[in-house]
Amino acid sequence: MAFGRLERRDQPKPMGEINMTPLIDVMLVLLVIFMIAAPLMSSSLRLDLPKSEAASPSEAPQFIAVAITPDGALHLGDEQLDAKAFRARIAELAKARPEAEIQLRADRLVPYGQVAELIGWVQGVGLNRIAFVAEAAASAP
């Protein structure tokens, strides 16, 4: 009449290693999120730049990014400024870095007069190296 074993077994020992699978899953999800989000953070200003076959990236080590949107808003880097504040800031930057290059991004819908006025302000404070940024044109086959 045996109802079960009378001998006692040892209890299973606790696992001493860390389960790496959930950690790897979390890291891969974070990697995918950053891969998708990084290009979106690089340029928050969307411009329809003119296309040119001669467009090539500049090799200037120091440059100041200036942009004009179709509605006439002025941007110094990622910061939007009005005309008076823009002129004051560009004068400060010209004193700090007189050899810096201005990289001008103007939307194709911006009137030529506004671009010429901006160039006049920049040259008026002593910055004479101005690069016009354009997109590379699709080459015809």
Overall pTM > 0.85: no
Assess contact for 132 and 116: CB atoms under 8 A: no
The answer to whether residue 25 sits within a structural domain is no
- pLDDT band of 132, cuts 50, 70, 90: confident
Number of folded domains that form the chain: 1
The answer to whether residue 98 sits within a structural domain is yes
The answer to whether residue 58 sits within a structural domain is yes
Q: What are the C-alpha distances in Å from 112 to residues 13, 81, 108?
A: 79, 20, 9
The answer to whether residue 13 sits within a structural domain is no
Query: Is 38 in a helix, a strand, or coil?
Result: helix
The answer to whether residue 37 sits within a structural domain is no
- Residue 79: which domain range? 51-136
Residue-wise pLDDT tens digits, 84-103? 999 999 999 999 988 888 99
Assess contact for 115 and 68: CB atoms under 8 A: yes
Q: Who's near 97: CB < 8 A, 6+ residues apart?
A: 62, 64
Please report, for the domain that includes residue 84, its CATH number: 3.30.420.270
The answer to whether residue 30 sits within a structural domain is no
